[in-house]
């Protein structure tokens, strides 16, 4: 220690050895940043390469299905060969990938640039790529919203049954058992037939996607919440016995407070995981129904209806079946793998 | 110091649970059967007994965490019955739990845990007020301000128990049920926490119902001690009195089992070893519940339940033969 008064002295400045004040101690003591369960889970998720890759694929597919139609020069329902006031030009129908119709060839010859039909066109002369993009958009939207519906209904009913128990639980769970025993495909088909007649969606924003998709949402809302409700009820039944719930009851907290503040946050990992796994399930159901002709209304495409349409020309235009099928596989597979990754990262029982 | 005013009175408290025996048959489990006692303002009543005797159930029934099957809980001259009285009561009576690991929500920060009673009862107007109160409470129990934003799993058992105590203090209670608050902690931490309970009692004028099975801990903190056996109260007296002159044969054997730190007294102390296990409360013995393990049992003991009577001043015992055996 340098002493200004006696530069060559060996005396140490006693001022340097005073005990630190409380404020100084607090300044020096460093605490490890608090790590939450969620942060830990995200860290584990990022370490899982398969899940990360799946997440990237999901994000890319979702973003492109949302953004691409905004600046794509063709629209999903425009028949390129049909111009007002001119006879239909059949050269646009059934184009192979990266080929052009007659008028487009003329424009290319004149030195104009024409945006290529990456996947060709379909039998009505509509750009196939943008139809696939739109189909993906519809499929993703159906999967996402159906899962949200399932989540909300299942979470509410499951947590009520689990928390209040007793007679409430018995009644709700018997209803769940009854719904479980209904053949869901039959109900979907019946509902879409009935709703297609009775639901008047003309002139509303639902007109484009059609009554079939509405009925699909209704069916998801009516039928598919049961497994989510069962899952959450089971979780809450075990969490309810924890002492922190008892402590909240002792302070006089209401049932809804305890469910919101204590029970649901503690089964959030299960909720996230099963919702993530519900999305591919819904997409699959939608594709399947569209394939049967019970999905979205034409001309709106969905991946299932694209595949279904492609069946007519399966020998000459196989790629038209393969493309939507591959996209469905890609979405469903990556969502499933991502869901598995989520489970590995967030389910504390697995990484104990 | 205890005043001479009764704060809480429990009259003939009964808590039965229906046990499902399958096929719509059920049988009542008499966890607490006809227990009466009162607690004076500012005192600590220790409640002891072996596992499964209904100590915890008494504490929880008083706070109406289970709706009592029968009997009355009278707090400050008012019976706890209606929803309003219960709500009011829960602002004055709180609870500290046994297990510091499961009694704190792992998804909440310490400040949220401590402030939960404030949130439930809406006891603050501004965020600042809430925060100040949380820091004040954490100061009471010896936690630092930087602990407020952490999660419960980052703390040791003793610290967690302090958080639980801070939560119990949040509503400015008068009465706290301490349900084995130190039995999950190791001995050195037990001492800290017990001393903290003592200090808080002096500082805030609290009244405790202190449930425990560690008799030395109970002796240290309690003004009076109640002994329970199989859902019934068998003896109630001042702490010193019960340690010097236990009258009920069960209390006698319980106290003889207390480990003595001094080997001389330990050798002089004759243990009264009970034979057999505690009977299931599902089919409790007739008459006196303790008769199956009692050294002094006579056929008369099987006939009727002994009354809980005052034998000497402030010393209550439930035993038919209390006069003869002592």
Instruction: Find which of A99-108, A126-135, A295-304 is predicted with most confidence, using mean pLDDT.
Output: A126-135
**Interchain CB contact of A22 with B (< 8 Å):** no
For the residues A188-192, what does the mean pLDDT come to? 78
How many Cα neighbours within 13 Å face the side chain of B100?
Answer: 26
Beta carbons of B102 and A247 less than 8 Å apart = no
Distances (CA, A) of B263 to A215, A248, A262, B86: 82, 46, 50, 50
Instruction: Find which of A106-120, A150-164, A267-281, A290-304 is predicted with most confidence, using mean pLDDT.
Output: A150-164
CA distance A42 to A21: 40
Q: How confident is the model at residue B272 (pLDDT cuts 50, 70, 90)?
A: confident
Q: What phi-psi label fits residue A223: left (phi over 0), alpha (psi between -120 and 50 degrees) or beta?
A: alpha
Beta carbons of B107 and A246 less than 8 Å apart = no
Q: How confident is the model at residue B225 (pLDDT cuts 50, 70, 90)?
A: very high
Give how far A244 is from chain B: nearest CA, Å. Answer: 4
- Of A147, A145, A133, A139, the C-alpha closest to A63 is A133
On the question of pLDDT at B176 being above 50, the answer is yes
Query: Residue A273 in 3-state DSSP?
Result: helix
- pLDDT at res. A31: 61
Q: How confident is the model at residue B46 (pLDDT cuts 50, 70, 90)?
A: very high
- pLDDT at res. A286: 83
CA distance A330 to A186: 28
Helix (H) or strand (E) holding B58: helix B55-62
- pLDDT at res. A205: 67
CA distance A254 to A261: 11
Residue % of chain A over a pLDDT of 90: 21
More confident residue, B104 or B26: B104
Phi, psi of A85 (to 5 degrees): 80, 5
Distance of CA A211 to the CA centre of its chain: 22
The pLDDT tens digits for A107-163 are 888 888 888 888 888 888 888 888 899 889 888 888 888 889 999 999 999 999 999
Beta carbons of A251 and B120 less than 8 Å apart = yes
On the question of pLDDT at B1 being above 70, the answer is no
CA distance B134 to B126: 13
Q: How confident is the model at residue A172 (pLDDT cuts 50, 70, 90)?
A: very high
- Chain A residues inside the 8 Å CB shell of B107: 37, 262, 265-266, 268
Between A193-197, A222-226, A261-265, B204-208, the lowest mean confidence (pLDDT) is in A193-197
- pLDDT at res. B77: 86
More confident residue, A85 or B158: B158
Chain A interface mutation, best of B82, B120, B170, B171, highest count of A Cβ atoms under 10 Å:
B120
On the question of pLDDT at B254 being above 60, the answer is yes
Sign of the torsion formed by the C-alpha atoms of A233, A239, A244 and A250: positive
Distances (CA, A) of B40 to B9, B121, B173, B200, B292: 9, 26, 15, 17, 34
Q: Are β-strands B175-179 and B93-96 bridged in parallel, bridged antiparallel, or unpaired?
A: parallel
Q: How confident is the model at residue A352 (pLDDT cuts 50, 70, 90)?
A: very low
Beta carbons of B65 and A249 less than 8 Å apart = yes
For the residues B314-319, what does the mean pLDDT come to? 89
Among chain B, residues having any CB pair with chain A shorter than 8 Å are 60, 63, 65, 86-87, 90-91, 94-95, 97-99, 102-109, 116-117, 120-121, 146, 149-151, 154, 164, 167, 171
- Of B148, B209, B146, the C-alpha closest to B174 is B209
Of B90, B107, B117, the CB nearest to A266: B107
- Chain B residues inside the 8 Å CB shell of A248: 116, 120
- Of B123, B86, B72, the C-alpha closest to A250 is B86
Between A244-248, A292-296, B69-73, the lowest mean confidence (pLDDT) is in A292-296
Give how far A281 is from chain B: nearest CA, Å. Answer: 30
On the question of pLDDT at B212 being above 70, the answer is yes
- pLDDT at res. A160: 93
More confident residue, B15 or B282: B15
Chain length of chain A: 352
On the question of pLDDT at B316 being above 60, the answer is yes
* ipTM of the complex, rounded to two decimals: 0.85
CA distance A81 to A103: 9
CA distance B305 to B319: 8
DSSP 8-state symbol, B46: E
Query: Residue A142 in 3-state DSSP?
Result: helix
Q: How confident is the model at residue A43 (pLDDT cuts 50, 70, 90)?
A: confident
- Rg, C-alpha atoms of chain A: 30
**Interchain CB contact of A27 with B (< 8 Å):** no
B178 touches B151 (CB < 8 A): no
Sign of the torsion formed by the C-alpha atoms of A116, A119, A125 and A130: negative
On the question of pLDDT at B45 being above 80, the answer is yes
For the residues B16-36, what does the mean pLDDT come to? 82
Give how far A150 is from chain B: nearest CA, Å. Answer: 25
- Chain B residues inside the 8 Å CB shell of A244: 102-105
- Rg, C-alpha atoms of chain B: 21
* Residue bearing tokens 């089964």: A267
Set out the domains of chain A in order of their start, with CATH numbers: 139-346 (1.10.3720.10)
Between A82-86, A288-292, B94-98, the lowest mean confidence (pLDDT) is in A82-86
On the question of pLDDT at A1 being above 60, the answer is no
CA distance B196 to B216: 16
CA distance A347 to B141: 34
Tokens of A8: 């060559």
């Amino acid at each position: 220690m340098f002493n200004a008064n006696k530069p060559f002295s060996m005396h140490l400045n006693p001022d340097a050895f005073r005990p630190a004040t409380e404020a100084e101690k607090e300044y020096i003591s460093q605490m490890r940043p608090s790590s939450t369960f969620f942060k830990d889970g995200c860290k584990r998720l990022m370490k899982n390469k398969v899940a990360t890759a799946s997440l990237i694929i999901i994000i890319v597919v979702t973003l492109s299905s949302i953004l691409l139609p905004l600046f794509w020069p063709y629209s999903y329902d425009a028949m390129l060969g049909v111009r007002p006031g001119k006879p239909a030009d059949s050269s646009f129908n059934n184009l192979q990938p990266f080929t052009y119709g007659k008028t487009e060839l003329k424009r290319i010859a004149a030195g104009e640039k024409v945006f290529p039909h990456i996947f060709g066109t379909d039998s009505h002369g509509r750009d196939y790529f943008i139809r696939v993009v739109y189909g993906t958009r519809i499929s993703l939207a159906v999967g996402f919203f159906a899962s949200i519906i399932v989540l909300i209904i299942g979470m509410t009913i499951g947590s009520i049954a689990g928390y209040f128990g007793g007679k409430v639980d018995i009644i709700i769970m018997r209803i769940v058992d009854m719904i479980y025993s209904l053949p869901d495909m039959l109900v979907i088909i019946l509902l879409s037939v009935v709703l297609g007649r009775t639901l008047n969606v003309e002139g509303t924003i639902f007109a484009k996607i059609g009554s079939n998709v509405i009925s699909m949402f209704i069916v998801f809302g009516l039928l598919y919440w049961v497994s989510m409700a069962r899952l959450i009820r089971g979780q809450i039944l075990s969490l309810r016995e924890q002492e922190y719930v008892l402590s909240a009851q002792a302070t006089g907290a209401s049932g809804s407070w305890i469910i919101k503040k204590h029970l649901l946050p503690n089964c959030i990992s299960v909720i996230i995981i099963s919702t993530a796994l519900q999305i591919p399930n819904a997409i699959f159901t939608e594709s399947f129904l569209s394939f049967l002709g019970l999905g979205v209304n034409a001309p709106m495409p969905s991946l299932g209806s694209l595949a279904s349409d492609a069946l007519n020309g399966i020998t000459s235009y196989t790629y038209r079946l393969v493309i939507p099928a591959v996209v469905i596989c890609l979405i469903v597979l990556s969502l499933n793998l991502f869901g598995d990754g989520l489970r590995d990262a967030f389910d504390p029982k697995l990484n104990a | 110091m205890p005043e001479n005013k009764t704060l809480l009175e429990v009259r003939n408290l009964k808590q039965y649970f229906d046990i499902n025996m399958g096929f719509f048959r059920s049988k009542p489990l008499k966890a607490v059967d006809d227990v009466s006692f009162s607690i004076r303002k500012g005192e600590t009543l220790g409640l002891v007994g072996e596992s499964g005797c209904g100590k915890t159930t008494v504490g929880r029934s008083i706070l109406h965490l289970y709706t009592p099957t029968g009997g009355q809980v009278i707090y400050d001259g008012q019976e706890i019955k209606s929803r309003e009285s219960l709500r009011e009561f829960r602002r004055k009576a709180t609870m500290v739990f046994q297990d510091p690991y499961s009694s704190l929500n792992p998804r909440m920060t310490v400040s949220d845990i401590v402030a939960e009673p404030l949130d439930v009862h809406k006891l603050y107007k501004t965020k600042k007020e809430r925060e100040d109160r949380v820091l004040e409470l954490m100061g009471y129990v010896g936690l630092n301000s930087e602990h407020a934003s952490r999660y419960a799993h980052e703390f040791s058992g003793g610290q967690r128990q302090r958080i639980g105590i801070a939560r119990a203090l949040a509503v400015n209670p008068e009465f706290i049920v301490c349900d084995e608050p130190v039995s999950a902690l190791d001995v050195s931490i037990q001492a800290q926490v017990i001393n903290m309970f003592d200090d808080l009692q002096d500082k805030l004028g609290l009244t405790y119902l202190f449930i425990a099975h560690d008799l030395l801990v109970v002796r240290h903190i309690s003004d009076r001690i109640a002994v329970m056996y199989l859902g019934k109260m068998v003896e109630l007296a001042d702490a010193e009195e019960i340690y010097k002159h236990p009258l009920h044969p069960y209390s006698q054997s319980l106290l003889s089992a207390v480990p003595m730190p001094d080997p001389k007294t330990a050798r002089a102390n004759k243990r009264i070893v009970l034979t057999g296990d505690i009977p299931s409360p599902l089919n409790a013995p007739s008459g006196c519940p303790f008769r199956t393990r009692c050294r002094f049992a006579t056929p008369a003991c099987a006939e009727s339940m002994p009354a809980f009577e005052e034998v000497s001043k402030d010393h209550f015992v439930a035993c038919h033969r209390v006069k003869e055996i002592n």
